[in-house]
Each structure stands twice: as structure tokens, then as C-alpha cells.
Structure 1
Amino acid sequence: MTKAYFKAIMREIWRSKARFFSILLIIFLGVAFYTGIRATGPDMLQAADDYFIKQRLATNSVQSTMGLTKADTKVLKQHADRLTFQSVTYLDVNQLNNNRVVRVAELPQHQKLNRLRVVSGRLPRRANEIVLDSQAKALQPHLKLGSTYRIVSTKALNRQFKRRTFKIVGFVNSPRYVEHVSRGVTNVGKGTLDYLAYVRPQTLKLNVATRIDVQFKNLAKVRPYTATYKRLNRANTADLKRWLAPQAAKRQRSLQATARKKLAPLAQQVATLKQQVPATTPVLVKATAQLKAAQAQVNAIKRPTYLYSTRADNPGYTEYHENTQRVVALSTVFPLFFIAIAALICLTTMTRMVEELRLQMGTLKGLGYSNTAVGSEFMIYGGLAALIGTGLGVLFGVNFFPQFIAQAYGSMYNLPAINVQYLWVDIVVALAIALVCTLGTALVVLRVDLRSLPAQLLQPKAPKAGQTLWLERWTGFWRRLSFNHKITLRNLFRYKQRLLMTVLGIAGCMAMMIAGFGLKDSIGDISSKQFNELWHYDAIVTRSGAPTAAEKRTLKRPRLYQASLTLKSAQVTVNQAGVAQQTATLSVPERPSRLATFVTLRNRESGQAYHLRQHGAIIDEKLAKLYQVKVGDHLPIKLAGQAAKSIKIAAIAENYVNHFVYLSPSYYRQVFGKAPVYNSNLVQFTHTNERQENAYANTLLKQAGILNVTLMSTEKNTNFKTFDSMNLVVLIFVISAGALALVVLYNLTNINVSERIRELSTIKVLGFYDGEVTMYIFRENFILTGLGVILGCFLGNWLHTYILQTAETNALMFSPGIHPLSYVYSALLTVAFSLIVMVMMHRKLKHVNMLDALKSVD
């Protein structure tokens, strides 16, 4: 390639800088979206991996129904070459002074595992200091550094503390609880933990440890969530169970021996009495009976059950990984839209460029330049646009999209900020796709012209032949059209490639905007449907047992009270291979006939109402999807401290937040072998008022036996704050799609004007005004935009459905509908972009040099 030829190539780039920049911008958008979103999932996983390593998150945990002793830790010490362990002592309390269920845990002297991450303040150094889970600050904003924290629970629990008043010196996050809100289940209060509190050792009066955390050394350098990690951890868990298997019998014998020692004085007393008095003496008879009863209790001491858990049982741990995989799945479909549109636009643009430079190609071939040299101009032109667009796209996409999306998920998880990483495989793939879009399309377009003789190239290409339209056969319609409208329709069908490219390009952009707005609708509808259409109660009252007369009077005393439903409420877990463990609320109404007044159980699609049956349970739709069960199938559920029970599914009801299982009292007795204890009430208020609702809750909590009051207004505000962050993701889709739509419309309109500049100059010479010349083009664009909008509605509906199936979390189901206004907004934005482009084209057409355009090319 000569220096002069290279200058000519650079001059062509500068001459057609608008076209060059449009190709570059399309490549930039596609590459930024592809590399950025593709990097988001790995970046989020890497952030979690680094966090788990730094905080030394345990790989396994062991608990026992009777606590863990030094004998258990002695067994683990024998395997110190394979693991590190740490004993933890904690107590779950129902805070009667603030209506919260709190786990108070003693911090070990040295945090070998599950090291706390200090969010603000510091860790406790003195016996009167305490640090709180950061979730405590969200639930109780008045809690601040330096303020006093008091533990006020039942008398029995209060006696388990050496001190109950503390000074708050810090707020922390534990690596065990990745999720921002959930802290797991408990058998205290309402059944779920609100937050955790950490105190110095020797604060609790417990003689045994509550849990032993274990970290196996062979997993130290293995990335979590991988198949290798899961395989090794299965083997580790099996070893752990084998090592501790003999401990249950030893613990039973130890407890029985201790109990027998306590009985020794009584046994000695009975033996002495037998020697001193007749066997029928009342004192001896009574003492003997007491001894036999006590011995029976000793013999009835059962073996403790050892419970083994892994990281997967920690709230949010598995779900976080699933969310990253959802992002990865989304990173495939959206960039495909961008790439497909970019390829179409590049094909149209390069086709036009080849046609414009046809005369130059003929001249160069006539001067003896080879086909390679002649085609190199187009290859350099397209390759340069691809390289610059890819470079800028990678820099922007990798640094912006992961940070933006991770920030949206940041409100859902307690993890530090991500570190940007460049995934070179994805970058190379993006570059290859960009080069295919530009160089590939250039080669496709050049294949005919490079085979042509110089004499053929030096002649202007014959204009595209017109043809009779099928609309012309509809004579009644065709005769009523004006001349301008007939010309518009003829031009539309004359340039079929441009028609197809424009319609597909606009349809793709329209689809992405509809998907974005539709996602916003689906998220927004959750709150209104769940709290207004499905749930018709304002508070959940949790008691320690069956309702007493005093509790009933207290429940109905305040003026705010309207009605209530008594029910059995408990937390159950559902566990199945391949699906993260789910927690569901088990509800058994005392009077099933009144349930419909408080909860609507219906089919989401048909609206058919469901009622509790004697033999079968009603579960939520999302739970059924997760475990792939249908009506008539069975599902295992497990109450805390009990074996799993299988329930038959009688109906699957509409629900969007969390999971539920409803059983009738008779079916509960059939499944669990005992009558339900009605420990809760769903309460309806006469009206809603935050101050009065809080006063009502405080009144109830003063009554002995009432453990917790959950106000639905508070739950609504707390749970749906996290959904606001999803609007950021929606904003990305809409802005990116809008930017692409603007570029597509500008590029195609610019090509259309360039192709027909002689035609437009001719009608200007004939006396058409500037506005009429612009409308000559705009009418075609408007029709093509309309066709693209119509096709985009169908594509957008499909894309929205795909996103919902991909982006849903395990405890959440999006509302599947798209509001009509979302279609309207997307269409109006697309039309607005079309108008913006026409304003830009109008300015260009006003300054067209008609004489230059009409000069002969012969």
C-alpha cells in the first residue's frame, strides 16, 4: 500500500466521519454491554470468594439437641491436621421491649472462623459492651454508637444472662449471613431472627456450646460454588459425621450418670427408711414412688441428635450464587440483541460505502491495484471502527456495568464492593464479533464488485428497478392516495434491504425498552398485589402457646382492633437436591372457613378461589416451581427439631413474596400425629395509622404470653426497599436500548438520504420546499418505525418473559404482566428518537448543494 493510497483512506474516513462514528458507536454499545454484563457475574462471585477467605467463613457447622461439650471438641482436636474449629455459645431471645427476635452470641477470645466485619465502631473489649448486626440499625434506627442496649425477655431467659444492660460500641456483619434481611429461623417468638448481637465471653450462663464451626483445610484454595468444592465438602461432611457418631451414645450415658448421682441421696434415704419402718408406711411409699419416677426419667433420657450443616444452609449464601448466574444468563440474551442489530446496521452501512466508492474502485483496478489493495480500504475502514469501538466499549463496559449492577444487588447482600476484572476470553470474543460485524460484512458486500472489470465499475450502477406493488391491485385504495403517498410506498418496497434492516433494528430496540419497562411493572406489582389483593390483615400476633382469656381480652381491647383469625404458625424448611433450602411459613387456621376473610388463595391465571381440604395442603406457586411439583404430588417439609414429613399438594395458589404452606387442622393431625397448638393471630384493623399501630403493638407486648407483634405496614416498607434498587437495572436497559435506537435510526436515515441525494436534489429543483423534502423521507421513516414498533411489541413480550424466568430469586415471584402504558412509553420514546433524527436530517437537507448532487457521474 502506497503512502498516497493510505492518505486517501484516511481522507475517506474524515469525509464520512458521521458514518464512521455511527459504526464505531454501534460497536461500542454492543461490546460495552456484552463485556460489562458478562463480567458482572464473575466479579460478584470473586467479591464473595475474597470476602469468605478474608473473614474465614466456616465450611461446616455442628449442633446438638443437648448442646456440645469439651468431649466433642476433643474428638475434633484429633483431626487438627485436617480442620480448624471454633465453639460458639448463643441464646435466642424474644425482646419484649422492642418487639424483635435477637440471637445473642458470645464472641470467642480469638475469632478463628466467621470473623466479623466491622461496619462502624469497634468490637467489644469490656463485659458491658455489645456490638449489633448492621440489620439492627435498619430495623431500629434509634440504635446508635454509644447508646444503651437492654435485653428484656421472659424471666426464664433473663436468668440466663449475667448482665442485660450494655453499651453499643459497634455495628458489624457476619460472613454467615450474606443476605441483607434474612437471619434464619429459630424456635423463639415468631420463628425468624431479626438480627444478632455479640457480647464478651462469660456473659451467658450456659454450660455447653451451642454450635461448633469447622473449616476444612482442603477447601482453603478451592473456589466456592464449584463442582470441586461441592465434591470435597460432601466427603468432608461424611468424615465429620463418622468422627462424631459415637458421641451421641457417650453424651446420653454421661447425662444419665449425672442424673443418677443427683438421685443418690434419695436412693440412700429410701434404703434407710426400708430398714427403719414397715414397707406400708406412707412416708416410705411416697419416697419409693418418687425414686421410681425419677429413675424412669433418667432412663428416658434420649440420645442427642447431632445436626450437620454447610455453607449452603446459611441465609443468602446459595441464593447469591444463583443471582450471579441469573446475571450471567441475562448477559447472553441482551448482548445478542445488540450484536444482531449491530451486524445488520454494519451490513447496510458497508453496502452503501461500497456503492459510493464504486468509481474509485474501478479507477484503482484500472491503474493496476490488486483486489487485496482495493479491498483494503474497506477493511481498514471497518477494522479501525471495530478496534476503536471495542477498546472504548471494553473500558466503559467492564468499569461501569458491573459496578452499577452490583450496587443494585448491594442493597440485598452484606458484601464489600466488587473489584473490576478483565475477562480476556470475553474481550477476545467481543473483538472477534466486532470484526465479523465490520470486516465480515465488508467482504460479503465486496465479493461481487471485486470480481467486476474496471470498465464495469467505472460505469454508474443501474438504479434499482421499480415494480408493481400488490397495493396497486387494490385499485379503490390506490386511487385515493396522493402522489406523495404513492411515491412513499413505492420507495419502501423498492429498497427491501433497508426496509428489513430498519424494521428489525427498531424492533430490537423497542423490545429492550419494553422489557425494561415491563420489569419495572413486574416489580412494582408485587407490592400492590401481595399486600392489597392477597393479604387482608394488618398484623401478626405470636403467642407462647394456646390463647388464654387474658390474651384474648388484650387482643380485642384497643379501638384499632376489628377482627382476628386464630391459627397455628411455624417455620418449616424444604430441602431437595439441586435447589437451595427454602423456608416457608406453615399456617393452620383454627376455623378454615374464615381464612378467606384474611387471605385470598386463588389461581393466578383463572382467579379460581381455593379452600382448605381435609386431605391436602395449599402451597404457593413459586415453591411449586422450584421443586417442580404439581397438584397431587408430595412435598417434604421439616419443622425445627423434627423429622421431615410428606404433605400432599391439593392446590397451588398465587403468591409473590416468601413461601407458605396452608393445612387444615384435621390434615395437620394426620401429618404430624398431634393436634395443632394455635399460637398466632392474624389481626385486621379498622384503619391504618402508624402511631396507633405501634401503640397497639406495645399494648399487646405488655401482656404475658404474647411474644411478638409483626405490623404488615413495617414489613411492606422493609421488604420492598430492596426492590427500589432494581429500578437502576431497569434504567440501564432503557437508556442502552434508547441509545441504540437513536444510533440505528440516525445511521439508516443518513444512508437513505445519501443514497437518494440526487433524487432529493431533483425535487428541490422542481420547487419543493425544505419541509416537503424532509417529509418525503420522514413519511418512509415513520412507516418503518411503526412497523418496527409493532414487531417490537411481540419481541418485547417474549424478552420480558425470558427475563422474569431468569432474574427471579427463590423467595420471590415477579408479576408476569406488562402494563399497557409500558408499551405506550416505549413506542413514544421510539417515535421521539425518530423525530430527533429527522430534525438532524432536516438541517442537513437544507444545506444540500443541489448542483454538485446533480452533476453527471459519467
Structure 2
Amino acid sequence: MTKAFWKVLWREIGHSKARFISIILIIFLGVAFYTGIRATGPDMLQAATDYYADQNLATNSVQSTAGLTHHDLTVLQHHRDQITYQAVKYLDINQLNNNQTVRVAELPTGSLNRLTVVSGHLPRRASEIVLDQQARTLQPKLTLGSTYHIATTSKLNRQFHRRTFKIVGFVNSPRYIEKTTRGVTNVGKGTLDYFALVKPHTLKTSVISRIDVGFKNLRGVTPYTARYNRLNRANTKRLKTWLKPQAKKRQAALQRQAQAQLAPTVAKVHALAQQVPANTPALVRAQAQVKRAQAQIAGIATPTYLFSGRAANPGYSEYHENTQRVVALSTVFPLFFIAIAALICLTTMTRMVAELRVQMGTLKALGYSNAAIGSEFILYGGLASLLGTLLGVGFGVNFFPRFIAQAYGSMYNLPAINVQYIWLDIVVALVIALVCTIGSAVAVSRVDLHSLPATLMQPKAPKAGKTLWLEHWHWFWRRLNFNHKVTLRNLFRYKQRLLMTVLGIAGCMAMMITGFGLKDSIGDISVKQFNQLWHYDAIVVRNGSQTAKQRRALHRQSLYQDDLVVKQSQATVERSDVANQTATLSVPQHPQQLNRFVVLRNRQSHAAYHLNNRGAIIDEKLAKLYDVHVGDTLPVKLGNRTTRKVRIAAIAENYVNHFIYLSPSYYHQVFGEKPVYNGNLVQFTHHGQRQQNAFANDLLKTPGMLNVTLLSTEKKNNFQMLDTMDLVVVIFVVAAGALALVVLYNLTNINVSERIRELSTIKVLGFYDGEVTMYIFRENLILTALGIFFGCFLGNWLHAYILNTAETDSLMFSPGIHWVSYVYAALLTLAFSLLVMGIMHRKLKRINMLDALSSVD
């Protein structure tokens, strides 16, 4: 290539700066979204992988219905070449002085599940304690150096050697990567609020609560992968085999222990039998008691050993599902974005080839080959693509993963992500960018390059106008003025431009609708869940059936208006192909009164549901996760009991967490026992936060009251996390707006360039600058309106897809989009169109009519 050739290329770039920069911007936006969103899921997974490895998160855990002993540890010691393990002792309590359910655990001596110290240090003395970082969020008064006092039931208080501690630190545990959820318990309201860690020998129990196990063959294996899951299944099977004999041994040990405790009584009864006649009433009663005790000892059941993997840790599986949602999002949304960019690049390069026909003819006449002439377009498009790709990758990979991870960061205790460049996606983005520019230029120029120089040096004849079908509608066509007729004819005369503009604007409109729609879907959850579906203000949990004293204590509260007595417990829904879900199982004592406190209805028709004896009512999200319908069964497990099949009678609207409602008779039918009504749903007369806190504190002073959950607090905790989703909404709206601006500017610029002679002609004929601008603007306005119209339908589809992929397991977004969101998106699109026309108006004012109309002959 000669020096003159390079001079021509640089001159072309200089003369068409707007077009060159617009191609770079379009490629930049498309590549930034594609590579950035595509990298987000892997970046988030890598952050979790590194964290699990750094903190040495256990791969398995073992528990038993009768507790674990040092004999179990001895069995595992024989396999220390394959595993590491550590014993954990803990006790779940309900703090009556602050209405929190806490797991107090002794610091284990092993290296598994290393804690991250957020502030302070780990306990060094028996009088010191560290708390979960979540404790500081729930109780801001808990600070370093302050006193922490354990105040629970008398029975549980006696399980501690000491109950007053000094807070010396706050920590995070890799067992709980989710910030708010700490798992289930059989104490208080059924869910843990936070954990506390003390020095060994603080608890009086000699029984081990849990053994954490780390299999060495999983070191270096990426979590969540098929290989990890395969090895973990084999490891769990091996662990069960090792500990299988321990169940019978533990049963025998418990029976021996009970016999030893009964032995003094038996000896006394034998002594009494030698002293008194055989039929003495006192002797008969004593012998009967011994016989019953021995029967109970003989009836001690074989303990059940419970084996769980990391999936049982709150947040572990959900975090993976969230990353998979981002991955699913990255398969459609960025491609949707880059497709729009590709269409506009195709139009831009097509116009460039048309503009340079005369230059192509001149170069051919001077003896340049087709390859040399075509290389100008290849270099022009390639340079724009390369610059746009480099800028897009640099921005997208460094911005979007951090931005989205920050939104999820409010939900998880994980370190900041380290961005990584996924070269396959970068290469794919570059290839798409090159195809959009070079490919379209080569395809369009191929015909012209085979034309004669004389033909090329003549301007291409304008596209001939055709009779429109609207002209056959004489009543309508006769009422249009000249300008409007010209506008309509020009629209259908340039069909490619019409299609590209409408598609480009529709795509941008769709993304803005999706952004605003996400905000609607998130915001509606609070209104629908807490105002329309739940009509109670507090949940009271007791240690058993309601006593007269507890009922009087509740009714005398100044806030009290009404209540519904219920049985409430946390149930686990288990199935091998779905991550375990925790649901609140509720049984109202008087089912006919339930609709005054909870609205159970069909989400679409609002038809009311009522409890019956033929099945349970579950929430819509739970049904979706397990792909079940009315008439199917759901595997439900209460505590450590065996899993039971619950038939589904109805699927009701719900947005936050999961629930299963059963009638008393159906509960008895499924679980083989009558429900113990351990709670109340309470309605208040008014809703001042201070009065509600006083209500909870006062009620907890009543013996047997374990916990009071205020819905105002639950609402605050649940939707504090959702506020961060506004960041994602901002991404959608800003990115869509930027693309809309670039698309409209590019297409309008091409439109003006194509018709420069036409516009110069009407200026010569006496049209004012404003009239010339309106000549173009009318067409743009119609095309913008068409794009807005079709964008509404496209936005509905994209919004539904995003909701389906972005929901978490315990949350369902409201699927509707507010009408005002369509208005906002349309007004923004229209505003961008007006802004572009303002820029174009300045350009049209500076048209040199003589140059534009001069002949090229």
C-alpha cells in the first residue's frame, strides 16, 4: 500500500469523524455489555471458590438425633488420611431480653470453617465472647467492650457454666455466607438470628452437637461443578458406611446409661420386696414403676445419623443459583444489546460504501486492484472495531462485574471479586464487531468493485418512489398536505432505513421498559405482601399450647386488637434435584378465621382459597421451584423427623419466603399427631415502632413466651436488600439510553448524508432552516413512534425473561409493569430523538448548497 493510499484513509477518517466515532461508540457499548455481563457470573463464582478455599469450608457435616460422642470421633480418626474433622458443641437459645434466637457455640479446635474477624479478636479468656457480624446489625447497641448476657429459660440457663461475657470481637463464618439467614432451629420462632462463640468448657454438655468433615480429595476442586458433586456423593456414601455401626452402639450406650441410672431404684425395690409381703400396695406400685422404666429403656430408638453437604449451609446453594441467573441473563441480554449495535453498524458501513463510489471509480481508473480499493473499507471498519472492542472490554470487564457484585454484596459475606478476562468471550465480541463492520462493507462493496470505473464515477441514481397503498385510501390521502405526503413517501422509499431505525429504537425502548419494570416489580412486593396479603402485625411464639395466663398477657396489651391461634414451625422441603427450601408450616386452630389475617388467593384471578381436609395451600414460588401443581405432592420434613408427602390443594399468591398452610385435621392425617398450637398471629390497633417494641418486650416477660416477630422489622430487613437492586435498574436505563442516543444520532446522520442533495434543493427553493429540519424530523418522529410502539411489546417479553432469571429462591417478583413506566420510557426515547434533531438542526443550517448540488461529471 502506497503512502497516498494511507493518506486517503486518514483523510476519510478525518472527513467522517462523526461516523467513525459513532461506529466506535456502538461497538463500545455492545462489547462492554457483552463481555462485562458475561464475565460477571464467573467472577462471582471465582470469588466464592477462593473464599471457601481460604476459610477451609467443611465439605460435609454429621449430626445425630441422640448427639455425637468421642466414639464417633475415634471412628473418623481411623480415616485421617482421607479427611480432616472437628467437633462442634453448641446450644440454641432464645434471648428473652432482646427477642433474638442465638446459637451459642464453643470455639472448635480444628482448622475447618475458619472465621473472618471483622473487628476485635477471638476469645482468649473464659469471660470473653465474639458475635456474628449480623448481631451488630440486629442490635446496634452491641459494641466491642460491652457486656453480653445470656438470659433464656431456666432450664437452658443451667446448661452454661457462666452467662455473662465481654464482647471482644465480631466475625463472619464461611458456614453462613448469606448476611441475614442463619438456618433453622427447634427453639423460639424456628430460625436463628445470629451465632455467638465462646471458649471451650463454657457449655456443660458432654455431647457433641456436630462434626464438621473436610475430604482431602475435594481440595482444589471447583465447587458447584459436576466433578465436585460426583466426588461429594461418593464421599457422603463413604462417610455413611464408616459411621453406620455407630447407631446401634449409641443406642446400646444410651440403654446402659439409663440402666445405670435406674439401678439404685431397682436395688431399693428388691430390698423392699424382701421386707414386705408381695402384695403390699407400695411394693406393687414401685415394681410397676420399675417395669415401666425398663420398658422405656428397651424402647430407646436407634439414633438417626444425619449427613449433609455444603448445600445445607444457608446461602451456599442460593449464591450459586444467583450466579447462574447472571449467567442466564448474560446469554440473552448482551446478545440483544449487541444485535442492535450490529444492525446499526451494517447500515453505517453500507452508507459509507455508497458515499465513496466516486472515489472507488477514480482508484480503479488509476489502476488500483479491487483488493487494494476494498482494503480501505477493511482498514476503516477494522480500526473502528478494534478501538471499540478494546475500549468496550476494558470498561465492561472492569465495571459491570463489580457493579452487579456490589448489588449482590449486600446479601452475602464474601470478599470483593477479582475481575478476570474471559478470552473466548473477548474473541467472540471482536469477531462480531469485525463482521458488523468489515463483513458488511465487503458484502456491500463487492458489487461496486466489479463495476466499470465510468459507472462508479457517476452518482448512484436515487431510489425511485412507488405508489403507496395509503394513496388508494383517497379520503385519507386527499386530506394530507404536500409535506405530509412527501414524508410518507420517503418513509417507505427507504425501507432498510425504516426497518433499522424502528428495530434500533424498539430495542432501546424495550431495555428502558425492562429497567423501569424491574423497579416496579421490586417495589410492588412490599405493597402486595405486607398490605394486601398479610393482615397481621406480629407473630408470637410460645413453648407449647396457650395458657390462660399467656392469653391474658396478650389481650391486656394496649396495641392488641385481635389474634389467631396457630401452630407454626419451620419445615424443610427436600428433593434431590432442587436446593432445599425452608418454609413456614402453619396450622390455624380455627381455619375459618384465617382469611381475616392472611389472604390466600389466586394471583391472576384473585379467587379466594380456603383450607380443607384434602391438602395444603402452598405459595406460587415454591410450586414453581419444585414444578408441582394442584393434586401433586410435596416432600416436607419437620425437624429431624422422616419426610412426609403433602398433597397440594391450591397454589396461592406470595412474594416473600415460603409457606405451607394445613387444616388441623389434614395435619393430623399427614404427620400422625395433633398440632400443638404454639403461636399467635396478632393484629395491632396502630403501628408506632416504639409501641411495637414495647409490646414485644412486655410480652416476653410472660413465662413460656419465646419470641415475638414484628412484621415492621421483617419488612425493613427483607427490603433493605432489595434497595440495592436499584443499581441494576440504573444499569438498564443508562445503558439503554446511551444506546438509544447513539442509534438515533447515527441513523439520522446517515439519513441526512444520503439526502444532502435533496435537502439542498429544497433550501434553494426557499425553505427556511426550521422547515428543512422538520422535513427530516417528521420522518424521525414517525419512526420513533413506531419504535416506541413495538418496543412496548418487546419490553414486556424482555422484562418477563429477566424476572424469570433474576429471582432468588425465596423471592418472587411482581410480574406487572406500571403504565407510568411505559410513559417514562417513551418520553426518554422521545427526548433523545429531540436532542438528536437539535444537533442535526445545527448541521443542516451549515449545508453548503452549491457544493452539494454541484455535478460530479
TM-score interval for Structure 1 and Structure 2 normalised by the shorter chain: over 0.9
Match of 1:391 in 2: 390
1:375 aligns to 2:374 (yes or no): yes
Match of 2:51 in 1: 51
Match of 1:301 in 2: 300
Query: Aligned-residue CA RMSD in angstroms?
Result: 1.0
In the alignment, the residues of structure 2 paired with residue 140 and residue 268 of structure 1 have an alpha-carbon distance, to the nearest angstrom, of: 54
In the alignment, the residues of structure 2 paired with residue 339 and residue 48 of structure 1 have an alpha-carbon distance, to the nearest angstrom, of: 29
In the alignment, the residues of structure 2 paired with residue 364 and residue 381 of structure 1 have an alpha-carbon distance, to the nearest angstrom, of: 17
Deviation at 1:289, TM superposition (A): 3.0
Match of 2:90 in 1: 90
Match of 1:77 in 2: 77
In the alignment, the residues of structure 2 paired with residue 274 and residue 682 of structure 1 have an alpha-carbon distance, to the nearest angstrom, of: 56
Deviation at 1:628, TM superposition (A): 0.8
* Deviation string, structure 1 residues 427-458 (Cα, Å, up to 9, x no partner): 11111111111111111111211111111111
Match of 1:846 in 2: 845
AA in 1 matched with 2:329: L
| Partner SS for 2:67 | strand
In the alignment, the residues of structure 2 paired with residue 819 and residue 447 of structure 1 have an alpha-carbon distance, to the nearest angstrom, of: 49
Match of 2:565 in 1: 566
AA in 2 matched with 1:97: N
Match of 1:348 in 2: 347
* Deviation string, structure 1 residues 471-514 (Cα, Å, up to 9, x no partner): 11111111111111111111111111111100000000001111
* Deviation string, structure 1 residues 794-852 (Cα, Å, up to 9, x no partner): 00001011111111111111101000011000000000000110111111111122221
| Partner SS for 2:478 | helix
In the alignment, the residues of structure 1 paired with residue 534 and residue 587 of structure 2 have an alpha-carbon distance, to the nearest angstrom, of: 16
Match of 2:595 in 1: 596
After superposition, where does 1:689-768 map in structure 2 within 5 Å?
A: 689-768=688-767
In the alignment, the residues of structure 2 paired with residue 654 and residue 376 of structure 1 have an alpha-carbon distance, to the nearest angstrom, of: 61
More moved, 260-269 vs 471-480 = 260-269
Deviation at 1:139, TM superposition (A): 1.1
In the alignment, the residues of structure 1 paired with residue 422 and residue 166 of structure 2 have an alpha-carbon distance, to the nearest angstrom, of: 47
Q: Number of paired residues?
A: 857
In the alignment, the residues of structure 1 paired with residue 571 and residue 285 of structure 2 have an alpha-carbon distance, to the nearest angstrom, of: 44
AA in 2 matched with 1:102: V
AA in 1 matched with 2:43: D
AA in 1 matched with 2:305: Y
In the alignment, the residues of structure 1 paired with residue 828 and residue 31 of structure 2 have an alpha-carbon distance, to the nearest angstrom, of: 24
In the alignment, the residues of structure 1 paired with residue 383 and residue 501 of structure 2 have an alpha-carbon distance, to the nearest angstrom, of: 25
In the alignment, the residues of structure 1 paired with residue 280 and residue 756 of structure 2 have an alpha-carbon distance, to the nearest angstrom, of: 125
Deviation at 1:67, TM superposition (A): 1.1
| Partner SS for 1:66 | coil
Deviation at 1:282, TM superposition (A): 4.4
After superposition, where does 1:358-369 map in structure 2 within 5 Å?
A: 358-369=357-368
AA in 2 matched with 1:101: T
1:664 aligns to 2:663 (yes or no): yes
After superposition, where does 1:543-622 map in structure 2 within 5 Å?
A: 543-622=542-621
AA in 2 matched with 1:3: K
Asked whether the 8 Å contact 2:85–2:110 carries over to 1, the reply is no
1:162 aligns to 2:167 (yes or no): no
AA in 1 matched with 2:706: L
In the alignment, the residues of structure 2 paired with residue 763 and residue 660 of structure 1 have an alpha-carbon distance, to the nearest angstrom, of: 70
1:474 aligns to 2:473 (yes or no): yes
More moved, 290-299 vs 674-683 = 290-299
Deviation at 1:283, TM superposition (A): 4.6
Deviation at 1:288, TM superposition (A): 2.6
| Partner SS for 1:213 | strand
In the alignment, the residues of structure 2 paired with residue 159 and residue 491 of structure 1 have an alpha-carbon distance, to the nearest angstrom, of: 89
1:220 aligns to 2:219 (yes or no): yes
1:4 aligns to 2:37 (yes or no): no
1:791 aligns to 2:784 (yes or no): no
Deviation at 1:298, TM superposition (A): 2.0
Asked whether the 8 Å contact 2:86–2:213 carries over to 1, the reply is yes
In the alignment, the residues of structure 2 paired with residue 252 and residue 786 of structure 1 have an alpha-carbon distance, to the nearest angstrom, of: 77
Deviation at 1:638, TM superposition (A): 0.6
* Deviation string, structure 1 residues 192-235 (Cα, Å, up to 9, x no partner): 10111111111111111100000000000110000000000001
Match of 1:122 in 2: 121
1:238 aligns to 2:258 (yes or no): no
1:285 aligns to 2:284 (yes or no): yes
More moved, 819-828 vs 449-458 = 449-458
| Partner SS for 1:413 | coil
AA in 2 matched with 1:395: G
In the alignment, the residues of structure 2 paired with residue 330 and residue 471 of structure 1 have an alpha-carbon distance, to the nearest angstrom, of: 42
AA in 2 matched with 1:386: S
Unaligned stretches of 5+ residues in structure 1: none
1:441 aligns to 2:467 (yes or no): no
In the alignment, the residues of structure 1 paired with residue 535 and residue 105 of structure 2 have an alpha-carbon distance, to the nearest angstrom, of: 37
In the alignment, the residues of structure 2 paired with residue 279 and residue 543 of structure 1 have an alpha-carbon distance, to the nearest angstrom, of: 47
Deviation at 1:277, TM superposition (A): 3.5
Deviation at 1:157, TM superposition (A): 0.4
Asked whether the 8 Å contact 2:55–2:114 carries over to 1, the reply is yes
* Deviation string, structure 1 residues 34-89 (Cα, Å, up to 9, x no partner): 00000000000000000000000000000011111110000000000000000000
Deviation at 1:172, TM superposition (A): 1.0
In the alignment, the residues of structure 2 paired with residue 613 and residue 258 of structure 1 have an alpha-carbon distance, to the nearest angstrom, of: 46
| Partner SS for 2:541 | strand
| Partner SS for 2:101 | strand
Deviation at 1:111, TM superposition (A): 4.0
Q: How many percent identity over aligned positions?
A: 74
Match of 1:316 in 2: 315
In the alignment, the residues of structure 2 paired with residue 264 and residue 681 of structure 1 have an alpha-carbon distance, to the nearest angstrom, of: 44
AA in 2 matched with 1:18: A
After superposition, where does 1:797-812 map in structure 2 within 5 Å?
A: 797-812=796-811
AA in 2 matched with 1:795: L
AA in 1 matched with 2:651: I
AA in 2 matched with 1:91: L
Match of 2:256 in 1: 257
In the alignment, the residues of structure 1 paired with residue 585 and residue 369 of structure 2 have an alpha-carbon distance, to the nearest angstrom, of: 79
Match of 1:38 in 2: 38
| Partner SS for 1:762 | helix
AA in 2 matched with 1:701: L
In the alignment, the residues of structure 2 paired with residue 262 and residue 708 of structure 1 have an alpha-carbon distance, to the nearest angstrom, of: 35
| Partner SS for 1:460 | coil
Asked whether the 8 Å contact 2:322–2:806 carries over to 1, the reply is yes
In the alignment, the residues of structure 2 paired with residue 446 and residue 797 of structure 1 have an alpha-carbon distance, to the nearest angstrom, of: 39
In the alignment, the residues of structure 2 paired with residue 69 and residue 478 of structure 1 have an alpha-carbon distance, to the nearest angstrom, of: 93
In the alignment, the residues of structure 1 paired with residue 141 and residue 4 of structure 2 have an alpha-carbon distance, to the nearest angstrom, of: 75
* Deviation string, structure 1 residues 245-271 (Cα, Å, up to 9, x no partner): 000111111121122222333333333
Match of 1:107 in 2: 107
Match of 1:407 in 2: 406
In the alignment, the residues of structure 2 paired with residue 357 and residue 298 of structure 1 have an alpha-carbon distance, to the nearest angstrom, of: 99
Asked whether the 8 Å contact 2:127–2:164 carries over to 1, the reply is yes
| Partner SS for 1:67 | coil
More moved, 291-300 vs 788-797 = 291-300
Asked whether the 8 Å contact 2:559–2:695 carries over to 1, the reply is yes
| Partner SS for 1:28 | helix
After superposition, where does 1:182-201 map in structure 2 within 5 Å?
A: 182-201=181-200
AA in 1 matched with 2:65: T
Match of 1:827 in 2: 826
* Deviation string, structure 1 residues 764-799 (Cα, Å, up to 9, x no partner): 122211111111111110000000000100000010
| Partner SS for 1:480 | coil
In the alignment, the residues of structure 2 paired with residue 111 and residue 510 of structure 1 have an alpha-carbon distance, to the nearest angstrom, of: 57
Asked whether the 8 Å contact 2:618–2:661 carries over to 1, the reply is yes
Asked whether the 8 Å contact 2:487–2:779 carries over to 1, the reply is yes
1:357 aligns to 2:353 (yes or no): no
Match of 1:460 in 2: 459
Deviation at 1:305, TM superposition (A): 1.1
In the alignment, the residues of structure 1 paired with residue 700 and residue 272 of structure 2 have an alpha-carbon distance, to the nearest angstrom, of: 51
Deviation at 1:415, TM superposition (A): 0.7
AA in 2 matched with 1:792: G
